[in-house]
């Protein structure tokens, strides 16, 4: 009778009470448990490959421990789904469990919605939980204890089981963005712009076709198009400049609206703001250029001080280094036209050719230290080692051969052809010497003509 009494009381309570409480006198939900909850575990044997309509209805539990497979395996569906049923699969197989999304291998009522539009990989010793949705008549994944590629969460310790269907990215028309310490660190955009590095291309608004790699590269760019910046602070201040290339730390750093510039080497074209069509190759090449355009500098400090000069070409270490506003100069060789500031239309080919020239114009020097000392002399032509070496202000001289007119200082309108010709001439003018050492010792003599080997060799002050 005692047992019957308790059965009757329990039945009565089940019929009329809204909530049931265990270890609580005031249950606040349909089932309110004040204590722990134990769900019994049973084994679930699977096979290699696909497991369709896995039977979890014959033995109904909430926790299933998987065993059996000796390689990666998959589950495409689970039987026994009823409204709100919750189960957990424990992958104790030692191999990856692949849970397939709405796979046709299982009956539609047994299929699984992974929530990722693709499969989920559950590594060994991990758990995956499901709840049955009666409206969709599908199992739905609620959680994965440790995920691998396929469920949308990539692991910091590496991922296994990836396929061509797996990716890191977006599925809408939004950029893929990167952050470090919650700071912008790059993006891949649909406007063909790519950036990687802290603050790289951070302020871009409508600019397209830009590539920025390095901290603060193209930082200020807003509407600029077709720029490439590689290196710390490269093109950092560019706003609307287009088609610029900066490779190296602080290349084209101050460029704002300048266009079609190429700078390769740390600090190359550093000060350029609106200058355009410049090419700078080498550390600090064209570093001071601001508005100068159409210049080419290749070499350490080449055209370093150029600010507004245009159409200059400097090739070699420190070539045209001090040029500021001079234009249309060509310097080929280390330190060639080194001191030139405002001189224009000069050509120096050879190390230290036209080295001292400052404002001289329309000089041509070909050879090491050719026209080395020229400062303001103009319209001189020297070809050969040290030809017209000492010339400072002399003008319209022509020297062909090593040391030809080497000591000329202010003499003008001299023509020297041959090694050592008019070598010691200093102020003599209007002399013509053709032949080895012809007029070699002439110093101040004027208007002489000497043709042949050592012709007028000893003449010093004589004149025609």
Nearest residue to 218 (alpha-carbon basis) of 198, 201, 197: 201
Q: What is the pLDDT of residue 160?
A: 73
Inform me whether the pLDDT recorded for 296 exceeds 80: yes
Spatial CB neighbours of 77, under 8 Å, sequence gap ≥ 6: 52, 53, 54, 103, 105, 106, 107, 110, 111, 112, 139
Q: pLDDT confidence of 1, banded at 50, 70, 90?
A: very low
The b/e string for 323-360 (b: 16+ C-beta within 10 A; e otherwise) is bbebbbbbbbbbbbbbbbbebbbbbbbbbbbbbbbbeb
Q: Which residues pair with 140 in a beta bridge?
A: 113, 131
Residue 150 binned pLDDT confidence (cut-offs 50, 70, 90)? very low
Do 98 and 77 form a contact (C-beta atoms < 8 A)? no
Residues 373, 389 contacting (CB under 8 angstroms): yes
Is the pLDDT at 165 greater than 80? The verdict is no
Predicted confidence (pLDDT) per residue in 374-412, tens digit: 999 999 999 999 999 999 999 999 999 999 988 989 999
270 contacts 251 by C-beta, under 8 angstroms: yes
Rg, C-alpha atoms of the chain: 43
Q: Is the pLDDT of residue 154 over 60?
A: yes
Fold of domain 41-144? Jelly Rolls (2.60.120)
pLDDT value of position 153? 61
* pLDDT above 70: residue 7: no
pLDDT tens by residue, 71-96: 989 999 999 999 999 999 999 998 99
Q: Is the pLDDT of residue 430 over 70?
A: yes
250 and 234 Cβ atoms separated by less than 8 Å: yes
pLDDT value of residue 167: 81
Confirm whether pTM is higher than 0.85: no
pLDDT at 30: 82
Confidence (pLDDT) at 3 = 45
Distances (CA, A) of 40 to 65, 253, 303, 321: 11, 67, 82, 84
Write the pLDDT tens digit of every residue in 61-72.
Answer: 999 999 999 998
pLDDT in tens, 329-357: 999 999 999 999 999 999 999 999 999 99
Please tell me the predicted confidence (pLDDT) of residue 371: 94
Q: Are 432 and 452 in contact (CB under 8 A)?
A: no
């Amino acid at each position: 009778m005692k047992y019957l009494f308790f059965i009757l009381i329990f039945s009565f309570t089940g019929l009329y009470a809204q909530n049931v409480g265990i270890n609580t006198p005031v249950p606040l939900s349909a089932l309110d448990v004040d204590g722990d909850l134990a769900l019994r575990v049973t084994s679930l044997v699977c096979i290699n490959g696909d497991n369709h309509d896995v039977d979890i209805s014959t033995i109904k539990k909430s926790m299933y421990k998987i065993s059996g497979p000796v390689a990666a395996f998959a589950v495409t569906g689970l039987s026994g789904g009823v409204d709100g049923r919750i189960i957990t699969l424990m992958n104790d197989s030692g191999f990856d469990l692949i849970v397939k999304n709405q796979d046709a291998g299982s009956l539609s009522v047994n299929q699984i919605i992974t929530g990722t539009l693709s499969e989920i990989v559950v590594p060994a010793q991990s758990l995956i939980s499901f709840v049955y949705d009666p409206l969709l008549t599908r199992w739905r994944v609620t959680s994965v204890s440790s995920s691998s590629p396929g469920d949308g969460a990539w692991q910091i310790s590496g991922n296994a089981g990836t396929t061509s269907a797996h990716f890191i990215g977006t599925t809408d028309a939004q950029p893929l963005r990167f952050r470090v310490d919650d700071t912008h660190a790059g993006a891949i955009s649909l406007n063909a712009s790519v950036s990687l590095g802290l603050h790289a291309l951070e302020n871009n608004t409508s600019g397209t076709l830009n590539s920025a790699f390095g901290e603060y590269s193209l930082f200020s760019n807003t509407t600029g198009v077709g720029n490439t910046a590689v290196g710390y602070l490269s093109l950092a201040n560019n706003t609307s400049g287009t088609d610029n290339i900066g490779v190296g730390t602080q290349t084209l750093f101050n460029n704002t609206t300048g266009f079609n510039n190429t700078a390769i080497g740390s600090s190359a074209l550093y000060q350029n703001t609106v200058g355009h069509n410049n090419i700078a190759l080498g550390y600090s090449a064209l570093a001071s250029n601001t508005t100068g355009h159409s210049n080419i500098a290749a070499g350490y400090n080449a055209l370093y001080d150029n600010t507004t000069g245009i159409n200059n070409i400097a090739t070699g270490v420190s070539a045209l280094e001090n040029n500021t506003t001079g234009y249309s100069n060509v310097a080929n060789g280390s330190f060639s036209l080194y001191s030139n500031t405002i001189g224009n239309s000069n050509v120096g080919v050879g190390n230290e050719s036209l080295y001292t020239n400052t404002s001289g114009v329309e000089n041509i020097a070909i050879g090491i230290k050719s026209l080395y000392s020229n400062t303001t002399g103009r319209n001189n032509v020297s070809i050969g080692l040290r030809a017209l070496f000492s010339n400072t202000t002399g003008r319209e001289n022509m020297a062909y051969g090593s040391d030809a007119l080497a000591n000329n200082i202010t003499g003008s309108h001299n023509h020297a052809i041959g090694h050592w010709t008019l070598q010691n001439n200093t102020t003599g003018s209007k002399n013509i010497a053709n032949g080895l050492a012809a007029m070699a010792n002439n110093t101040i003599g004027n208007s002489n003509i000497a043709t042949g080997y050592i012709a007028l060799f000893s003449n010093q002050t004589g004149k025609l």
